[in-house]
Structure formats: C-alpha cells, structure tokens
Structure 1
C-alpha cells in the first residue's frame, strides 16, 4: 500500500487579511514560515521518495521549508488552488455559504467550478500515485483544492467541520487505484 501526504501551505498575508487567493498569490507570514518548519519536523522521520507542489509561491516556499533540501520536488499546475476569476484578491465576505454553493458560483466571474478542481486534483494525484516508484509521496497544495479532492473520494462534511487550518496534513492510503483517507493531522 502506498501513502500520500497532502499538506496545506502555511499562513499567508491574504489569509490574515481574509482575502480570496486562488491563482493569485501572497507571501507566507512569519507564522506561516513557522508552521511550515513545524510540518517539516513532523516529516523528519517519515521516509519520502517523491515530492510535488502547486506552482504557487506560497506552496513552493512551504515545501522548501518542509524539505530543507532533503529531496528535490516538482511543481505541478494541476495542484493549484481553485481559480476564482476576477474575485481574486477580494474580501472573503463575498464567498458563498457552504460547499454546494461553491460548485458554480465563480463561473460567471471567470473562475472554475469546484467539481473541475476536484477532478483535476483526483486525476493528477491518481497519476502520481500510479507511478511504480512513488510509494511515499508528499504534496503541498491548498485548502480548496485539498477539500475538493477529498470530496471526490468521500463525504467531506466531518473533516470540513473540523477545519483545514494552514499546515494541515491529509494522510491517504492508495491501493487498487483508489484513495482512502486515513487521518488528518492538525498541528495548529
């Protein structure tokens, strides 16, 4: 059985300001840097053979702080956050209430549907975990993309109610081309 670790990036300036990030970016805060370092300590004794990150700066910076040059990583666009179109950078107060409302809310604004994001993540992560030499894989991504991936494989309500704080670690088992969530580690 293979193991996939999906980590949400550390806290960013936009997280603190309660702004919609999506494909736009903002830097890690000091707290976000510390979160990434703490996640790195969690992985110190866990064998990893491959690492992949969203192309967003906040994820790449988080990955580099976790790995501390332990192994190289590859940047993949398919691991990016949901695209919120022209609403990126706006206040989170305009976000729809609840996951169902997210499904198509951002389409008229040039964004993606949450189903598109979930399918993109599922396809990418299945492809990665199907590679024979990928046994213990680390991925750094985003809250929305991680949630929508989880939504593709199970009812996410219980985990959503617990929250996906920055630095959360989703541990999945991969066997027979299927993912199963083992646990979510919330260090913060």
Structure 2
C-alpha cells in the first residue's frame, strides 16, 4: 500500500489566521489554484481509492485534483480536530495570552485541556491510528489518496513516527496542498515523505 495524505487548499480563514476546526469553510481562489497545481504534479497517477474529509475545503480539493467525476468516499474519521467554542477565533488572540484556554495547545501540548466542545490531542491521535490501521487492512496492494486537515495530519504523522505529544514539534510545517506519503512495510505503516510542499517546489516521489 502507498497512502498519499493531502492537506486541503487555502481558505479565507487560513489567510486570516482563524482557527477552522470543524467549521465548513470553502476554498478561496488561491486554494483552488493550489489544488490545480497539485493536480498537475499528480497527473497520470492512478489511485485505487480516494478518501476525503466531509468538509467542503477537502472535497473541493479532491475534486480539483482527481476530477469531479471521481469516486470520492467521504470519511468522517479524517475530519479536522474539533476546537469547540474557539473555532473562528484568531490565532493571535490565543498565542499571546498565557491564560487563554488554547495557549497550551500551541506551546505546552502535554498540559492541553480541551475547552467545551473540543477534542483532546489523544482523541485525534486515536482517530488517526484507527484510520491508518484500516488502510493497512483494506488496501494492502493499492495506491490510496486521502484529503484531510493540518491538525489531523500532525497526529497521523506523530503516530507513524512513534512520537509522543511532547515530540510533535519535530514534525515539519504542513502547508496547504502539501503531501505526506506512507507505505506498508511488513504490515506496518512507515512514513516515506513528510509534508512535501509541492506548491513551493519541493519534490514528491511518485511511483
């Protein structure tokens, strides 16, 4: 199995540094252009299965990259991390005030306690673990692509690398329309390429 994990293209909330979480924000024009560029990078690749988070920013990215007629399977397990009452808030408000509920999410994740309506980091790591193990079981000899979100991807990468929550800061920045590649080695998920920023010219290994 080869699994390509794609972060969605840019939205207006990305542009204005707003925390999206599970709010259904669409791609903006730049996000559509990013997806079109990724489509060119992946041109000629044949994917046996295509998954997407149900949120429109992922579905639209998938449709641009794989085609509107592609069979895209919506999978809620790869939806973005829920941030509850703080979805829609500006990052700056949360990262300069040490008393803010989400300050620890950005700077002290071991001690992060999710606010009302939010998920814990452990919750999302568990979702990522379930999804990756499901991919191993269902797609042994297939090439799969999944369109998902930044926080979910960080948890999936951390799980694949065996990183603790404290070590998650070692993960590269996950830019819009970046691609992470994982593969099956002896029935285990192995990370091959991490958060390849194809939009800014980084090279993706294609087979």
Equivalenced residues, count: 185
Post-superposition offset of 1:69: 3.7
* TM-score, structure 2 normalization: 0.82
Q: Which moved more, 1:139-148 or 1:88-97?
A: 88-97
2:81 and 2:62 mapped to 1: Cα distance? 19
SS of residue in 1 equivalent to 2:115:
helix
Measured in 1, the distance between the counterparts of 2:129 and 2:50 equals 17
Structure 2 CA distance for aligned equivalents of residues 29 and 10 of structure 1: 8
Structural mapping, 1:31-50, within 5 Å? 31-50=30-49
> Contact (CA 8 Å) 2:54, 2:74: kept in 1 or not?
yes
Mapping of residues 119-130 of structure 1, within 5 Å: 119-130=126-137
Deviations 1:18-52 (A, max 9, x none): 11001112121111001111111121122210000
Between the aligned partners of 2:69 and 2:140, the Cα distance in structure 1 is: 17
Query: Is residue 174 from structure 1 mapped to residue 184 from structure 2 by the alignment?
Result: yes
Unaligned ranges ≥5, structure 1? none
Question: Residues 34 and 56 of structure 1: is their aligned pair in 2 closer, same or farther, counting only changes over 3 Å?
Answer: same
From the superposition, tell whether residues 143 and 103 of structure 1 become closer, same or farther in structure 2 (CA, over 3 Å).
farther
Q: Is the 8 A contact 1:121 1:149 kept in 2?
A: yes
The answer (yes or no) to whether the contact 1:82–1:144 under 8 Å persists in 2 is: yes
Query: Partners of 2:105 and 2:115 in 1: how far apart?
Result: 18
Q: What is the aligned-residue RMSD (CA, Å)?
A: 2.0
Q: Deviations over 1:74-128 (max 9, x none)?
A: 0011000100000001111214366673456352332001111011012022213
For 1:146 and 1:180, how far apart are their aligned partners in 2? 14
The ranges of structure 1 where at least 4 consecutive aligned residues each deviate by more than 4 angstroms after the TM superposition are 97-100
State which structure, 1 or 2, has the greater radius of gyration over its C-alpha atoms.
2
